[in-house]
Structure 1
Amino acid sequence: MGALHGNLRDWPETALILFRYLTREVLLTMSAVAGILLLVIMGSRFIRYFANAAEGDFPVTILGNLMLFHLPGFMELVLPLAFFLGILLAYGQLYMNSEITVMVACGISPLRLLQITLLPSVVVAVLVGLCSVWLTPWGSMLNEEIIQEQRSRLDASILTPGRFQEFGEGRTAYISGFSSDGKQMQDVFVHELGNRGQDMPNYVTRAAQGYQEIRDETGSRFLVLEEGDRFGVTPGENRAEHLAFERYTIRLGLSGDRRELDAAEYRSTAALWQSDDPAAKAQWQWRAGLPLMVFVLGLIAQPLSKVNPRQGRFAKLLPAVFLYVAYLSLLLAAMDAIDAGTLPAALGVWPIHGVFLALGLGLLWHSQRKGMR
């Protein structure tokens, strides 16, 4: 034991083996927790998207792209929690097996364990930073563009026979089926909702058949209806307009037209840094604070992982989860306060990180003082 004690104090090969062992335990446990959390979160989002696709908001074929572009947003939230729980469970198991007791007897202090935990913390913080600073806003922008484009289009890939489906600008369509070649829509019904504030009429159009047409010279898309009737009714008036037609064209929009997305969550991090908008400042602080959150949670998790073998390694899991939820909730509340102007952007979310950092340092000092007995 004395020889082992001397080797560990010199921090040579024996300590390197210990470092690899502890790092492997933490990362393996973190990976398992992250996999479970991702499966739950992505499954919930997939069910929501699948329900929207079943209602005709967008085709099922784009579900894979939507889930892929949402993955960085899931990762930036899952990885800090998974790392936090990974340290708790891995070190808790070491306490259960009395391995920490042996390390303490050989001269391994909480500060030395903190040094061992630092490298995986850096790796996780870099991954979270890549997601929050670059991948998440990029993926969110692409997702929103895809959804908006699909909702503003009316084509055979979206319409499902026998369903009333919205396709943008207050329009609802219904078709009974398609022709044998899949190009002609049969028994078309289109309802166009007017602007109530301006007493605009609501239009109902029925046609025996219809198809979509794109004008190459302008890129505009049109729904061409044939052999039908069009009725217009203004709310509050006892009259209606009626038009019988052989061919009627409804303009849908530009082919591939995309709306401009100006919300802070879709902007690049560099654009947020240069903006004076409170919402942009709040979003920038959120993105910059997530990597810092990884280090703070790692600092808190190490002393919290100490458990009594009689209690089991899950004894402090529930309080730790509540602590993480409180941390995340305070950050989100601070973002809302900055956006609303009730909290100065210069102060921002940093006091919350400071409070939890002080909590972690206090727990570490208390653990060091007791000698991890």
Structure 2
Amino acid sequence: MPKDTLFERAMLRELAGVGTGVFIVLLGIMIVTRGARLLAMAASGNVSADAVGALLGFTLLGVVPWILTMTVFITILWSLTRAWRDHEMAIWLSAGQPLTAWIRPILTFAVPLALVVALLSLGLSPWAKHKSREYREVLATRDDVSALSPGLFKESALADRVTFIENFAGKGGAARNIFVKSAEQDNTQSVTVAAEGYLSSLPDGERILVLQNGRRYEGIPGQANYRVVEFTEARIRIQEPDRREITTPAEAMPTMALLGSQQLEEQGELARRIASPIATLLLAILAIPLAYVNPRMGRGVNLITAILLFSIYLNLINIAQSWIANGKLPAAIGVWPVHIVIALITWGLFRWRAKPRA
């Protein structure tokens, strides 16, 4: 087996191992941060607890392309920095091999991941964002009682009723210890408490809350003529908010729908999606000269430079997308100037590293 093939296989094994670890770490960070935000929303009653898992899944699918891009960049930078630190790169250069010879094995690792990024960015991520938005719309139009969380006071969408339940430990999963406060148009307020309750649907589709073994207090605040009614069973109509048409922003639209669009926002979104796999390949090649470690300066300088270039690159892509959406940049030009600048920086770094050192 040729030596270069052995070298490439060993390098690819190292890159695959490091890349798997980096991806798991980045994905874990994303799960923790986004999951904590969704759990906080569920605890405050803004999101149903049973919807946290689905929303987290849709969110992760939407950000996975950029996680993969970061994974490729960090993996190559980490592996080649180790090669410089362990003097493997010095042996490589002493054998007459140029720094550009690393491009082939690096692209062998990066190209398949760039294709995955393209597949996700152009297809799966927009679908996930659409489904996430669709799911949020469905949750927003659910009746108020369906979205209740035990132990929390929940105001209705129309702000005319406040409901509290202690738990769902009743028979057949029925709610226990229910409190309902509602306001009427004639300034009359009513407070209803019940030992148990459950949701029921009438044949015409109307939803009602059935309360059992409770008491109702009704009157005008400040007056003594309150009316108290004890009941074995009472029913409260659940007024559902109007069903809203599910909107589809540009980021949730299928890529085929963006092609040929004359809407500036949609043209900007298409440019951003196309930029993702291109950025993955450019960052992979850029990491080769950035991995250089000068023993006199320490290994922190190249890492800081790499982080700055990575952040600037992604921010410039977002700025270009914004300019296209606002009509400040023609869609035909798109994000290509940003890619060209990064390509020139990469070429310049290769030339600089190729110069003989004193």
TM-score > 0.5, shorter chain as reference = yes
Give the corresponding residue for 2:239.
251
2:107–2:285 Cα contact (<8 Å) kept? no
Give the corresponding residue for 1:120.
109
The verdict on how the C-alpha distance between 1:361 and 1:221 changes in structure 2, with shifts beyond 3 A counting, is farther
Give the corresponding residue for 1:174.
163
Q: Higher mean Cα deviation, 292-301 or 337-346?
A: 337-346
Aligned residue type for 2:179: D
TM-fit CA distance, 1:292? 0.1
Give the corresponding residue for 2:13.
24
The answer as to 2:38 corresponding to 1:49 is: yes
The answer as to 2:328 corresponding to 1:342 is: yes
1:275–1:281 Cα contact (<8 Å) kept? yes
The answer as to 2:88 corresponding to 1:96 is: no
The answer as to 2:259 corresponding to 1:273 is: yes
1:161–1:174 Cα contact (<8 Å) kept? no
Q: Distance in 1 between matches of 2:158 and 2:262?
A: 33
Offset from partner CA, 1:24-60 (integer Å, 9 cap, x none): 2233223322222222222111111011111122332
Give the corresponding residue for 1:363.
349
Structure 1 residue matching 2:240: 3-state secondary structure = strand
Aligned residue type for 1:188: V
The answer as to 2:130 corresponding to 1:141 is: yes
TM-fit CA distance, 1:65? 2.0
TM-fit CA distance, 1:346? 2.3
TM-fit CA distance, 1:184? 5.7
Aligned residue type for 1:214: S
Structure 1 residue matching 2:27: 3-state secondary structure = helix
Structure 2 residue matching 1:316: 3-state secondary structure = helix
Q: Higher mean Cα deviation, 178-187 or 353-362?
A: 178-187
1:152–1:167 Cα contact (<8 Å) kept? no
Give the corresponding residue for 2:223.
none
> How many residue pairs get matched?
343
Q: Distance in 2 between matches of 1:332 and 1:62?
A: 30
* 1:302 equivalent among 288, 296, 308: 288
Aligned residue type for 2:180: V
Give the corresponding residue for 1:36.
25
1:88–1:305 Cα contact (<8 Å) kept? yes
The answer as to 2:201 corresponding to 1:214 is: yes
Offset from partner CA, 1:219-263 (integer Å, 9 cap, x none): 45455789858899xxxxxxxxx9999755243158xx6741221
Q: Higher mean Cα deviation, 47-56 or 73-82?
A: 73-82
TM-fit CA distance, 1:305? 1.0
Aligned residues: CA RMSD:
3.4
Q: Distance in 2 between matches of 1:222 and 1:346?
A: 56
TM-fit CA distance, 1:61? 2.9
TM-fit CA distance, 1:323? 0.8
The verdict on how the C-alpha distance between 1:57 and 1:97 changes in structure 2, with shifts beyond 3 A counting, is same
Give the corresponding residue for 1:238.
none
1:225–1:249 Cα contact (<8 Å) kept? no
Offset from partner CA, 1:150-176 (integer Å, 9 cap, x none): 233236663134422245455663224
Q: Distance in 2 between matches of 1:327 and 1:319?
A: 12
Structure 1 residue matching 2:180: 3-state secondary structure = strand
Q: Distance in 1 between matches of 2:175 and 2:317?
A: 53
Q: Distance in 2 between matches of 1:220 and 1:277?
A: 41
* 1:290 equivalent among 276, 288, 293: 276
Q: Distance in 2 between matches of 1:320 and 1:249?
A: 60
Aligned residue type for 1:322: L
- TM-score, with structure 2 as normaliser: 0.82
1:172–1:190 Cα contact (<8 Å) kept? yes
Offset from partner CA, 1:122-150 (integer Å, 9 cap, x none): 01201211221112111122222223322
Offset from partner CA, 1:348-370 (integer Å, 9 cap, x none): 222111111121122223333x2
Structure 2 residue matching 1:175: 3-state secondary structure = strand
2:55–2:132 Cα contact (<8 Å) kept? yes
Give the corresponding residue for 1:197.
none
The verdict on how the C-alpha distance between 1:15 and 1:165 changes in structure 2, with shifts beyond 3 A counting, is same
Identity of aligned residues (%): 28
The answer as to 2:64 corresponding to 1:72 is: no
The verdict on how the C-alpha distance between 1:247 and 1:84 changes in structure 2, with shifts beyond 3 A counting, is closer
1:34–1:79 Cα contact (<8 Å) kept? yes
Offset from partner CA, 1:180-213 (integer Å, 9 cap, x none): 3344672212479xxxxxxx99996644456534
